[in-house]
């Protein structure tokens, strides 16, 4: 070691040696942080979840972190759910906003309401809800609803959970939708299961081979661990490795193109009562298939005073209205719902659980007749007005909230609802129900189409798809109202096998159901047309040409072709090809792996070209986009297509699930021309070698300056070096 | 005979400087940049910035080193003032930190020369990826070649300037010869497939690309890195200049020679790759040292001349590459050693200590975090991270040099304003201050060429603008293209760079007071004009000539004298 100052110099104050000081920071270089591991493809036979996926995925840990409730390992309470929704809206103001109830005002049927109109009778909460759409704060303002994220050109989707207080999974699923939508935005290409592959197993059977596990990773497990959710079905929905790696790109696009309204807990009153009083916090122990169902209307005093007496304790044998019997369409049809025989008196008995609310006592049209034209979309009394003096229904704060929100959400002012698609979560029975509910053996006008979408979702969840009244008739439910009045494609999902599922099953039940929710959002552009085209086997025939089927021309733009079935009603204007380039980055590291830089997705319009193409069931039309890639570009061209129908927006994606094709682009330009090269060579040679020659000449010429080196030429200069 | 250590002749300085400037950057980075930036198009900004950035900085470095006659720490102590000696420490540290992993990289080139000469890369079924991965994943091998490089470098600089001069001379002459051999074979290959498309590409301008800012920024960065300008190398070698040495012409000669080698190497590599590769640009623009060790052996294996051609080409190229690397390594180590010697440590001990440090601190880069990329090619991630952190720190060394010049001009001008002989205000500064350094330290009468006012403009105007453009575009790119760029745990992020730079800079500023408490011994040739009294650090009593005795530090001077006597005797 070199001598230190303290050893060698007693004359100066002790100080660290210079050498030591210079060496000190060397240690810094060893303190570099641990590098992120680079995924290396592993080979070998994998047979356990632990060896196949990341430990986070195997433990059903969701990437957004958070406590047990946020991780869906225990149930949210109303408070924790509300807090979480507030937080999500606060952290993601660009795509999400939080509301409770509505502002009120003059509603669509001419009634004055206030924000109090929508607060629960007993605990006084308005139902919390979120609006998820790009620019959630920057759209048109709906004064009545209080919502700042309205866009005329986006389709709206309404998702409602927890009509029935005890059906706890029915608010967990929409919460899970909220978390997933928000997290997926700007997290495109996330490897959800940590297997090194991205978006390889989207919801449902994406390749049509009848197997849900598209990437086969669950099926590759040892048989004993294939049923990780314990529902008796191996590699079924909810099992590890099934539909586990969906496309964040698709969700991202949905948030950009839809207005998504999610009301996870409609019946806050009832839910609090069920949890805090009726069943208790561990309801799955004592209330697995029972519990409080209705809201907390005070039926014992109804009719004596118009307002319930809030001081009164809940009379469990009597109080409450079944919210899902309180919508007005065909309200009062004597099927699956009961009304009190004598208004104001409590109608005791088992069917009290489906009490549909009080009979209306107002002559809405002031014609002296009461309740002569109930809500059914028809002019029952032939007076030229439709549904103007109803029998009842819409009597509860919660149903008023849904009905007013729907009727007042009319961005395009066409008098209808803006929800082409509506969805409500319930428990239990593992069913998908579509209208009608109020009548048996009565097809609705969209029977075939509603059945089609239900069948698709049944594949995703392994649930049974049936008409609602096929299970049992219900009048005044959410879906009959939405479909009956607004032709909204509406489904009631009956989740799981208990009202209060055990907490350890929350996460796998969520995974089994979420795909259906996202599917509904996706088809909202035109659910009927989508069904028609799919039933006729038309939309499945369109395809984007793969790189091997395309040829890159010697010069000019690169053509990308889409083959469209001749029966498909495409819109040239709204169909497009999206593309981006991945080029070697300017930030090439001298020693690391090759670095790439990726451009943003760019849109190219398509034109019809007069070339035929063949689809699976006949001839097709070729649409072509010209991608402006210069001849001197090298790298990868990523491309995908969005094909729009004449009526819809842009959600026929090819390839599906937010994927894209990759085309290798090689250098196409000429490598140079002789004369240009000669010229440049001359310039460079003159500057560099000519300059060098001049410099050496001056240097070696002794006459230029007397004290220059004395050697006469390069040879002697060189010899001078060697002596 | 004075105590001072000098080069024998002018060529010694030039060869040593060229040896420092020419490194792997000329041979594997330059062809890549040409490929990625439109062939001949790239040559325009690259040549432009040679004259705008590199040569003016080299002139400044020569002038400063020639006057201060000390390494980087001493130079900044004298030129920027006692408070700024840490700038020299920064310069020395960055160069040394790069040296840690550069020795490893130099070792790779030696290994590939060995593989080339033994024919291991020329067989029928050689999978170059396998060879590369096998090598990089065997720590013993990598360390062995790293060790050899360190030994060679220590041997070369053990005896000081005259030895450095000789080694650089032989290696550079050999490098020219080997590169010409490779070029000859490459052009033969390229021509034999019907067209000299590699050569044509390299010299054809694509006028669309010529107006793309990216091409110009790449030209600037290539010029800034490959020429060693602003890195302190030329300060160090200027210490060994003879008393009446030229600075300007030498700077031009060195810069032009550096670019000549780049062109020859670029032509050789591109011609060979274009001759045999179906998609040459995709290959050549890939970045990463691995390309050199994967693509080129494949290409060279197809050289004409039966078994001999490929062997010559492979061995010749990698030998040239290792010579380029080793001569750069020599300057790196010498830069560090010179700083020790300036502060009174004896040379041999300094060389040994530096050598051991370079070897030990290079070990992590040699063996740690050897990963496979998505294409299955091994790369040393720790080494890459080191390069990521320290590579751009070099730019600050250049900035510090410019700062010293600006400061000198300012002091000189203020003094004259106080005396009433110069006008006040910006116009005054522009009139007098900016040319003060040039008048006093560059155009001293020793030069073959006098440098004109253009040099002032470059240093005062062009340099700061280009510095901002270069750093700005680098950081912007990084922020735009790196995930979690602000996460301090991301070794490829920005926070980590700023953190390391910050810690080092703050540490060095703190160490400054220890630096200036030690005497500084200047390596002054007999009769040289090395007056420093007008400089900010000129009144420092601890700054003395080699052999002088400083009160309180008698032991240092005594030892040095004995040592010098031994060497010169």
Nearest Cα residue in chain A from B168 = A721
Q: pLDDT tens digits for B313-367?
A: 888 888 988 988 998 998 999 999 989 888 888 888 889 999 999 999 989 888 8
Q: What percent of chain A has pLDDT over 90?
A: 48
pLDDT for residue A650: 62
Chain A, nearest residue to B92 by Cα: A22
Cβ separation of B517 and A15 shorter than 8 Å? yes
The answer to whether residue A4 scores a pLDDT higher than 70 is: no
DSSP state for residue A427 in the 8-state scheme: E
Q: Any chain B CB within 8 A of the CB of A722?
A: yes
- Average pLDDT for B425-441: 80
User: What value of ipTM does the predicted structure carry?
Assistant: 0.82
CB atoms within 10 A of CB A583: 18
Chain A residues touching B503 at Cβ < 8 A: 25, 28
**Number of residues in chain B:** 569
Give B563 to chain A, closest Cα distance, Å: 16
Lowest-confidence segment of A76-80, A292-296, B212-216 by average pLDDT = B212-216
**Cβ-contact B59, B449 below 8 angstroms:** no
Cβ neighbour number for residue A225 with a 10 Å cutoff: 17
Is the bond leading into A279 cis (omega within 30 degrees of zero)?
A: no
Distance from CA of B243 to the nearest CA of A (A): 11
pLDDT at position A440, please? Answer: 87
Which of A3, A8, A10, A32 should we substitute to test contact with B (largest number of B Cβ atoms within 10 Å)?
Answer: A32
How is B197-249 classified by DSSP, letter by letter? HHHHHHH---HHHHT-HHHHHHHHHHHHHHT-TTSSHHHHHHTT--TT--SHH
Q: What is the pLDDT of residue B557?
A: 53
Start-end of H helices in A1-77: 5-8, 18-23, 26-30, 49-52, 55-58
Residue A224 contacts B where some CB pair is shorter than 8 Å: no
Quick: pLDDT tens for B54-89. 889 999 998 888 888 889 998 999 888 888 989 999
Residue A141 contacts B where some CB pair is shorter than 8 Å: no
pLDDT score recorded for residue B422: 76
Instruction: Say which of B203, B256, B552 has its CB closest to residue A677.
Output: B203
Among B171, B200, B493, most A C-beta atoms within 10 A, so best to mutate, is B200
pLDDT mean over B276-284: 78
Q: Quick: pLDDT tens for B131-140.
A: 888 888 888 9
With a cut of 60, say whether residue A20 has pLDDT above it: no
Distance CA B8, CA B166 (A): 9
Q: Which residues of A touch B263 (CB under 8 A)?
A: 684, 688
The two tokens of residue B64 are 């400063």
What integer pLDDT is reported at residue B518 of this predicted model?
85
Q: Are A442 and A484 in contact (CB under 8 A)?
A: no
Q: Nearest C-alpha of chain A: how many angstroms from B290?
A: 7
Q: Rounded to an integer, what distance in angstroms lies between the CA atom of residue B232 and that of residue B64? A: 10
Residue B272: C-alpha distances to residues A672, B114, B186 (Å): 16, 21, 5
Q: Which residues, 6 or more positions from B357, have their beta carbon under 8 angstroms from its beta carbon? A: A23, A26, B96
Q: What is the pTM of this model?
A: 0.70
- Between B417-426, B462-471, B554-563, the lowest mean confidence (pLDDT) is in B554-563
pLDDT of residue A308: 52
B305: left (phi over 0), alpha (psi -120 to 50) or beta: left
Q: Does A443 touch chain B (CB under 8 A)?
A: no
Collect all residues of chain B within an 8 Å Cβ-Cβ radius of residue A684. 43, 47, 203, 263
Q: Identify the helix (H) or strand (E) that includes residue A276.
A: none
Q: Can you give the pLDDT at residue A1? A: 38
pLDDT of residue A44: 44
Mean per-residue pLDDT, A84-106: 96
The pairing of beta strand A128-132 with beta strand A96-100: antiparallel
CA-based torsion, B343, B346, B348, B349: positive or negative: negative
Q: Does A584 reach chain B within 8 Å, measured CB to CB?
A: yes
Q: How confident is the model at residue B143 (pLDDT cuts 50, 70, 90)?
A: very high
pLDDT value of position A715: 45
What's the confidence (pLDDT) of residue B356? 92
pLDDT recorded at residue A512: 94
What is the reported pLDDT for A705? 47
Q: Please, which residues 606-635 of chain A have a Cβ atom closer than 8 Å to chain B?
A: 630, 632, 634
Q: What CA–CA distance (Å, rounded) separates B309 from B292? A: 19
Q: Which two tokens stand for residue A179?
A: 């978390």
* A252-274 pLDDT per residue, tens: 989 999 999 999 999 999 999 99
pLDDT of A587 reads 65
- CB atoms B448 and A24 under 8 Å: no
- Best mean pLDDT range from A118-127, A564-573, B161-170, B318-327: A118-127
Q: Is some CB atom of chain B closer than 8 A to the CB atom of A672?
A: yes
Q: Looking at the DSSP assignment, which residues form a beta bridge with residue B370?
A: B380
CA atoms within 13 A on the CB side of B442: 25
Q: CA–CA distance from A424 to each of A34, A320, A492, B135, B436 (Å)?
A: 47, 20, 5, 62, 82
pLDDT (tens digit, 9 = 90+) per residue, B18-57?
888 888 888 888 888 888 888 888 999 999 999 888 889 9
Partners of A160 in beta bridges: A263, A424
- Interface A–B counts its CB contacts (< 8 A) at 268
User: Given this model, what pLDDT does residue A40 score?
Assistant: 36
Partner B, chain A 36-55, Cβ-Cβ below 8 Å: 36-40
Say yes or no to pLDDT of B108 above 50: yes
Say yes or no for a CB contact (<8 Å) between A592 and B381. Answer: yes
Residues B489, B208: Cα–Cα separation, whole Å? 40
- What lies within 8 Å, CB to CB, of A551 at 6+ separation is none
With beta carbons under 8 A apart, name residues in chain B contacting A696: 253
Decide if B53 contacts B454 (C-beta within 8 A): no
Q: Contact at 8 Å (CB) between A426 and A492?
A: yes
How many whole angstroms separate alpha carbon B21 and alpha carbon B328? Answer: 7
Tell me phi and psi for residue B544, to 5 degrees: -135, 175
Dump pLDDT digits (tens) for B507-550: 989 888 888 888 888 888 877 777 888 888 878 777 777 777 77
Instruction: Return the minimum-mean-pLDDT range out of A157-171, A492-506, B399-413.
Output: B399-413
Q: Is residue B146 a contact partner of residue B359, using CB atoms and an 8 Å limit?
A: yes
Percentage of chain A exceeding pLDDT 70: 85
Q: Which pLDDT band holds residue A305 (cuts at 50, 70, 90)?
A: very low
Dist CA A529 CA A448 (whole Å): 12
Burial A654-693 (b: 16+ CB within 10 A, else e): beebbbbbebebebbbbbbeeebbeebbebbeebbeebbe
pLDDT at A605 over 80: yes
Given CB atoms, is A34 within the 8 Å cutoff of chain B? yes
The angle subtended at Cα A370 by Cα A364 and Cα A373, nearest 5°, is: 75
Q: Is residue A513's pLDDT more than 70?
A: yes
Convert the pLDDT of each residue in A111-166 to its tens digit.
Answer: 999 999 999 999 999 999 999 999 999 999 999 999 999 998 899 999 999 999 99
| Contact check, Cβ <8 Å, A688/B256 | yes
Please indicate if any CB of chain B lies within 8 Å of the CB of A678: yes
Q: What is the pLDDT of residue A585?
A: 72
Could you give the CA distance from residue B130 to residue B1 in angstroms, rounded to a whole number?
Answer: 57
Which of A36, A589, A637, A693 is the best residue to mutate to test the B interface, defined by the most B CB atoms within 10 Å of its own CB?
A: A589
CA distance, residue B66 to nearest chain A CA (Å): 16
CA distance B186 to chain A (A): 17
For residues B228 and B57, give the distance between their C-alpha atoms in angstroms, rounded to a whole number: 9
Q: What are phi and psi of A170, to 5 degrees?
A: -75, -15
DSSP letter assigned to residue A436: -
**Predicted pLDDT at A555:** 85
Q: Does A667 touch chain B (CB under 8 A)?
A: yes
Contact assessment for residue B556 and residue B341, using Cβ atoms and an 8 Å cutoff:
no
Q: Which candidate from B39, B200, B287 shows the least CB-CB separation from A584?
A: B287
- Mean pLDDT (chain A, rounded): 84
Query: Is the Cβ–Cβ distance between A668 and A634 less than 8 Å?
Result: no
CB-based contacts of A429: which residues, under 8 Å, 6+ apart? A471, A494, A497
Q: How many CA atoms lie within 13 A of A377 on its CB side?
A: 10
Residue B146 has a pLDDT of 93
CA B26 to each of CA A420, A589, B91, B201, B533: distance values in angstroms, whole numbers, following the listed order: 64, 15, 22, 18, 40
Give which of B547, B508, B402 is closest to B69, Cα–Cα.
Answer: B547
C-alpha distances (whole Å) from A97 to each of A43, A47, A69, A158, B103 are 45, 44, 21, 15, 57
Instruction: Please tell me the predicted confidence (pLDDT) of residue A77.
Output: 96
Contact list in B for residue A587 (CB cut-off 8 A) is 474, 477-478, 481
Q: Which candidate, A278, A274, A270, A276, places its Cα nearest to that of A127?
A: A270
Predicted confidence at residue B473, as pLDDT, reads: 84
């Amino acid at each position: 070691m070199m001598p230190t100052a303290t050893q060698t110099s007693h004359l100066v104050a002790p100080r660290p040696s210079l050498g030591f000081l210079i060496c000190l920071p060397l240690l810094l270089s060893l303190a570099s942080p641990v590098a992120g591991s680079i995924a290396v493809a592993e080979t070998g036979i994998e047979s356990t979840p632990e060896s196949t996926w990341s430990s986070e995925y195997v433990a059903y840990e969701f990437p957004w972190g958070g406590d047990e409730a946020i991780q869906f390992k225990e149930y949210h309470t109303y408070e924790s759910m509300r807090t979480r929704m507030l937080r999500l809206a606060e952290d993601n103001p660009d795509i999400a906003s939080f509301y409770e109830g509505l502002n009120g005002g003059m509603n669509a049927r001419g009634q004055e309401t206030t924000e109090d109109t929508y607060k629960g009778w007993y605990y006084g909460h308005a139902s919390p809800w979120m609006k998820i759409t790009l620019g959630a704060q920057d759209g048109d303002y709906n004064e009545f609803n209080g919502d700042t994220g309205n866009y005329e050109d986006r389709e709206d989707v309404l998702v409602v959970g927890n009509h029935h207080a005890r059906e706890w999974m029915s608010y967990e699923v929409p919460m899970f939708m909220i978390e997933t939508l928000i997290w997926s935005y700007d997290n495109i290409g996330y490897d959800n299961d940590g297997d090194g592959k991205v978006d390889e197993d989207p919801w449902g059977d994406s390749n049509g081979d009848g197997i849900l596990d598209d990437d086969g990773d669950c099926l590759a497990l040892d048989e004993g661990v294939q049923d990780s959710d314990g529902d008796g079905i191996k590699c079924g929905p909810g099992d590890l490795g099934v539909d586990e790696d969906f496309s964040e790109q698709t969700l991202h696009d949905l948030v950009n193109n839809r207005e998504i309204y999610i009301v996870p807990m409609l019946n806050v009153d009832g839910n609090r009562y069920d949890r805090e009083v009726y069943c208790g916090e561990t309801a799955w122990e004592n209330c697995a298939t029972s519990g409080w169902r209705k809201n907390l209307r005070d039926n014992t005093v109804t009719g004596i005073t118009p307002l319930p007496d809030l001081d009164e304790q809940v009379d469990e044998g009597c109080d409450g209205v079944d919210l899902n019997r309180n919508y007005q369409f065909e309200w009062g049809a004597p099927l699956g719902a009961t009304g009190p025989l004598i208004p104001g008196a409590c109608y005791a008995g088992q069917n009290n659980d489906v009490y549909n609310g009080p009979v209306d006592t107002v002559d809405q049209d002031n014609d002296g007749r009461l309740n002569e034209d109930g809500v059914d979309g028809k002019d029952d009394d032939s007076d030229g007005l439709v549904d103007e003096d109803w029998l009842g229904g819409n009597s509860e704060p919660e149903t008023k909230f849904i009905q007013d929100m729907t009727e007042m959400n009319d961005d395009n002012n066409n008098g209808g609802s803006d929800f082409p698609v509506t969805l409500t979560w319930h428990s239990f029975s593992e069913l998908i129900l579509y209208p009608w509910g109020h009548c048996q053996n009565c097809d609705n006008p969209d029977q075939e189409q509603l059945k089609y979408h239900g069948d698709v979702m049944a594949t995703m969840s392994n649930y049974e798809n049936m008409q609602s009244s096929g299970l049992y008739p219900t009048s005044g439910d959410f879906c009959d109202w939405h479909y009956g009045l607004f032709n909204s494609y509406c489904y009631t999902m009956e989740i799981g096998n208990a009202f209060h599922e055990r907490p350890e099953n929350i996460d796998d039940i969520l995974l089994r159901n979420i795909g259906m929710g996202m599917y509904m959002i996706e088809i909202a552009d035109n659910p009927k047309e989508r069904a028609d085209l799919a039933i006729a086997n038309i939309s499945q025939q369109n395809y984007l040409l793969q790189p091997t089927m395309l040829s890159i021309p010697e010069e000019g733009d690169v053509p990308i072709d889409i083959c469209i079935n001749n029966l498909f009603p495409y819109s040239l204007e709204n169909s497009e090809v999206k593309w981006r380039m991945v080029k070697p980055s300017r930030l090439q590291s001298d020693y690391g792996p090759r670095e790439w830089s990726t451009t943003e997705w760019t849109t190219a319009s398509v034109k019809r070209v007069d070339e035929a193409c063949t689809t699976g069931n006949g001839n097709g039309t070729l649409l072509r986009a010209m991608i402006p890639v210069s001849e001197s570009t090298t790298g990868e061209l990523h491309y995908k297509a969005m094909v729009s129908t004449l009526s819809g927006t842009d959600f026929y994606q090819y390839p599906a699930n937010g994927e894209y094709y990759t085309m290798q682009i090689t250098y196409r330009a000429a490598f140079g021309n002789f004369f240009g090269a000669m010229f440049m060579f001359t310039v460079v040679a003159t500057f560099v070698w000519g300059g060098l020659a001049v410099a050496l000449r001056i240097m070696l010429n002794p006459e230029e300056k007397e004290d220059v080196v004395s050697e006469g030429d390069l040879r002697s200069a060189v010899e001078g070096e060697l002596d | 005979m004075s105590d001072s250590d000098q080069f024998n002749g002018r060529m010694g300085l030039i060869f040593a400087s060229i040896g420092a400037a020419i490194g792997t950057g000329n041979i594997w980075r330059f062809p890549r940049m040409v490929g990625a930036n439109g062939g001949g198009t790239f040559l325009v900004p690259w040549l432009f910035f040679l004259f705008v950035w590199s040569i003016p900085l080299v002139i400044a470095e020569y002038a400063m080193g020639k006057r201060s006659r000390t390494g980087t720490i001493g130079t900044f102590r004298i030129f920027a003032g006692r408070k700024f000696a840490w700038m020299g420490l920064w310069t020395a540290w960055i160069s040394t930190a790069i040296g840690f992993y550069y020795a490893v990289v130099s070792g790779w080139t030696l290994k590939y020369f060995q593989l080339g000469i033994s024919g291991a890369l020329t067989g029928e079924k050689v999978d170059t990826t396998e060879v590369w991965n096998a090598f990089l994943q065997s720590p013993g091998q990598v360390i062995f070649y790293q060790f050899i490089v360190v030994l060679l470098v220590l041997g070369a600089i053990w005896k000081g300037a005259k030895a450095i001069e000789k080694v650089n001379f032989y290696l550079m002459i050999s490098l020219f010869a080997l590169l010409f051999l490779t070029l000859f074979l490459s052009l033969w290959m390229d021509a034999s497939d019907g067209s000299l498309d590699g050569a044509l590409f390299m010299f054809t301008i694509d006028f669309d690309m010529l107006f793309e800012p990216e091409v110009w920024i790449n030209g600037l960065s290539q010029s800034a890195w490959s020429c060693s300008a602003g890195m302190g190398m030329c300060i160090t070698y200027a210490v060994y200049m003879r008393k009446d040495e030229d600075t300007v012409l030498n700077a031009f000669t060195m810069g032009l020679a550096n670019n000549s080698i780049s062109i020859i190497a670029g032509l050789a590599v591109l011609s060979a790759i274009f001759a045999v590769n179906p998609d040459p640009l995709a290959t050549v623009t890939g970045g990463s040292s691995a390309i050199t060790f994967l693509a080129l052996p494949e290409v060279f294996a197809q050289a004409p001349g039966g078994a001999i051609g490929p062997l010559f080409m492979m061995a010749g190229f990698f030998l040239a590459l290792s010579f380029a690397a080793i001569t750069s390594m020599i300057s790196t180590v010498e830069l560090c050693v010179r700083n020790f010697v300036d502060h009174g440590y004896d040379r041999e001990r300094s060389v040994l200590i530096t050598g051991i440090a370079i070897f030990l601190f290079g070990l992590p880069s040699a063996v740690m975090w050897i990963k496979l990329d998505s294409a299955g090619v091994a790369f040393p991630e720790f080494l890459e991270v080191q390069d990521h952190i320290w590579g751009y720190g070099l730019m600050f060394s250049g900035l510090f040099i410019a700062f010293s010049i600006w400061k000198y001009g300012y002091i000189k001008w203020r003094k004259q304003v106080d005396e009433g002989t110069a006008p006040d205000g910006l116009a005054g500064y522009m009139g007098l201050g900016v040319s003060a350094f040039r008048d006093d330290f560059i155009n001293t009468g020793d030069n073959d060429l006098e440098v004109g006012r253009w040099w002032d403009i470059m240093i005062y105007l062009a340099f700061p603008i280009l510095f901002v453009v270069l750093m700005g575009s680098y950081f912007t790119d990084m922020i735009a293209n790196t995930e979690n760029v602000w996460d301090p745990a991301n070794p490829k992020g920005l926070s980590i760079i700023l953190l390391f730079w910050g810690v080092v800079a703050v540490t060095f500023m703190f160490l400054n007071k220890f630096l200036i408490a030690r005497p500084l011994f200047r390596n002054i040739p007999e009769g040289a004009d090395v007056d420093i009294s007008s400089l900010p650090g000129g009144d420092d009593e601890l700054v003395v000539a080699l052999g002088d005795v400083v009160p309180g530090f008698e032991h240092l001077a005594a030892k040095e004298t004995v040592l010098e006597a031994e060497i010169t005797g």
